Amino acid sequence: MFFPFTKIRLANMSASKKLSAREIERKFLLKRFPPNLKKFPHDTIEQGYLATGRGGLQVRLRKKGSVRSLTYKQGTKGEREEREIRLSVEQFNALWPATAGRRLTKVRYDVPWKSHTIEIDVYRGRHDGLVVAEVEFDDQRSCAGFEPPDWIGRDVTGKPKYSNVALAHD
Amino acid sequence: MFFPFTKIRLANMSASKKLSAREIERKFLLKRFPPNLKKFPHDTIEQGYLATGRGGLQVRLRKKGSVRSLTYKQGTKGEREEREIRLSVEQFNALWPATAGRRLTKVRYDVPWKSHTIEIDVYRGRHDGLVVAEVEFDDQRSCAGFEPPDWIGRDVTGKPKYSNVALAHD
């Protein structure tokens, strides 16, 4: 069972492409860690980029726990395409060296909050100390109605300096 | 046996990277087809690009016969890095739609000539009629001593208009 997943997400694509739910995300800094953070499910994520380019283009390699994947992303907020395949250890290892100089490491905690999951990314290495929380919403209504817990800080949605591509290239 | 090959080719890389044989190639147009072309081993190649960028960067998907692969290439003549993994049908199919508008099709014939193999690419689709021959050499001496058969035409080595990336984007 080499390939338990293949994820294809097409957000708000133009006529020629499949239409699916718009991907709505918000990103925040943290005032402080939520209580008992380490009790929540978490994985170390290592990721690196084979390619990044204009229009939000990225070809990303990621190892999350023991799951290795390659993800193609293109487009910005309004129109996004995302395609992801799982890689075997051998496939991942063959490509990974090509991401040298364009990598980052973080620990991701999945913290449930009301009907949402708040993903808390604690960066390691060069960005040690940086902590970012991300929440994904099914629709605008759900996004608008989001009441963050009191440990959530400033909204940094869309700020380039907090994008993973930017953090990997620093 | 999902992954019979993983090819990593590092040509003349800088200190921090593994050193291996320099990759020396020449590309030619054809005066005419060699006799009995269709008797030589050949495969239809479909390829498309997930990403292309400066410095010879490309992330390419390729289907050659029934063999599907993803190749990362970076660098130009002097310093090149190439990493290739085989993909399963499912992996390939999940990524392939992302190459729309950056694809080409050709039939590749492997024609033995003295101690070399001349790869003859007969383009299909938009480039129907274009035929290019490519020869790879182990070293400069072998390259310099190459005596082409009489059906080989003009040397177009390094001409951007005959690069596959350019042909895929036309």
* pLDDT tens column, A14-34: 433 443 434 688 999 999 999
A·B CB contacts under 8 A: 67
Q: Is the pLDDT of residue B67 over 50?
A: yes
Per-residue pLDDT band at A138 (split at 50, 70, 90): confident
B79 contacts: CB under 8 Å, gap ≥ 6: B11, B12, B13, B14
Please list every residue in chain B whose beta carbon sits closer than 8 Å to the beta carbon of residue A98.
72, 74, 81, 83
* Interface list for chain B against chain A, based on CB atoms closer than 8 Å: 2-3, 6, 8, 17, 50-51, 53, 57, 59, 70, 72, 74, 81, 83-88, 90-91, 94-95, 97-98
C-alpha to C-alpha distance for B1 and B8, rounded to whole angstroms: 19
Q: B54 exposed, middle or buried (CB, 10 Å; 0-12, 13-18, 19+)?
A: exposed
Per-residue pLDDT band at A111 (split at 50, 70, 90): very high
Mutate to test the interface with B, among A52, A70, A80, A87 (most CBs of B within 10 A): A70
Query: β-strands A131-137, A116-123: how paired?
Result: antiparallel
Measure the CA angle with vertex A51, ends B163 and B84; round to 5°.
65
pLDDT value, residue B51: 97
The shortest C-alpha distance from A96 to chain B (Å) reads 9
Q: Which of B84, B94, B97 lies at the smallest CB-CB distance from A85?
A: B94
The shortest C-alpha distance from B121 to chain A (Å) reads 27
Mutate to test the interface with A, among B2, B50, B89 (most CBs of A within 10 A): B50
Whether residue B59 contacts residue B75, with contact meaning beta carbons closer than 8 Å, is answered with no
Phi, psi (degrees; rounded to nearest 5) at B156: -120, 25
pLDDT value, residue B13: 43
Contact B59 A51 (CB under 8 A): yes
What percent of chain B is helix, strand and coil (3-state, nearest 5)? Answer: 20, 50, 30
pLDDT value, residue A16: 37
Of B26, B19, B23, nearest to B138 (Cα)? B23
pLDDT value, residue B2: 40
Q: Is the CA virtual torsion A105, A111, A113, A116 positive or negative?
A: positive
pLDDT value, residue A117: 95
Whether residue A42 contacts residue A65, with contact meaning beta carbons closer than 8 Å, is answered with no
Contact A2 B2 (CB under 8 A): yes
Query: Mean pLDDT in chain B?
Result: 87
Please list every residue in chain A whose beta carbon sits closer than 8 Å to the beta carbon of residue B8.
94
Q: Pick the residue with more confidence: B45 or B115?
A: B45
C-alpha to C-alpha distance for B85 and A91, rounded to whole angstroms: 6
Per-residue pLDDT band at B73 (split at 50, 70, 90): very high
CB atoms within 10 A of CB A4: 7
Of A72, A109, A69, A63, nearest to A85 (Cα)? A69
Contact B94 A8 (CB under 8 A): yes
The shortest C-alpha distance from A39 to chain B (Å) reads 35
Whether residue A91 contacts residue A1, with contact meaning beta carbons closer than 8 Å, is answered with no
Q: Is the pLDDT of residue A157 over 70?
A: yes
Q: Is the pLDDT of residue B53 over 50?
A: yes
For A157, the enclosing helix (H) or strand (E) is none
Q: B98 exposed, middle or buried (CB, 10 Å; 0-12, 13-18, 19+)?
A: buried
C-alpha to C-alpha distance for B168 and B47, rounded to whole angstroms: 8
Per-residue pLDDT band at A8 (split at 50, 70, 90): low
Q: Is the pLDDT of residue B24 over 70?
A: yes
Of B89, B70, B130, B88, nearest to B106 (Cα)? B130
Q: Collapsing DSSP states into helix, strand and coil, what is residue A102? A: coil
pLDDT value, residue B78: 61
Please list every residue in chain B whose beta carbon sits closer than 8 Å to the beta carbon of residue A48.
none
pLDDT value, residue B7: 63
C-alpha to C-alpha distance for B106 and B123, rounded to whole angstroms: 4
What is the percent of chain A with per-residue pLDDT over 90, rounded to a whole number? 71
Q: Collapsing DSSP states into helix, strand and coil, what is residue A55? A: helix
* Interface list for chain A against chain B, based on CB atoms closer than 8 Å: 2-3, 6, 8, 17, 50-51, 53, 57, 59, 70, 72, 74, 81, 83-88, 90-91, 94-95, 97-98
pLDDT in tens, A48-74: 999 999 999 999 999 999 999 999 999
Q: Which two tokens stand for residue A80?
A: 């996004």
Contact B91 A3 (CB under 8 A): yes
pLDDT value, residue A79: 72
C-alpha to C-alpha distance for B8 and B25, rounded to whole angstroms: 17
The shortest C-alpha distance from A46 to chain B (Å) reads 19
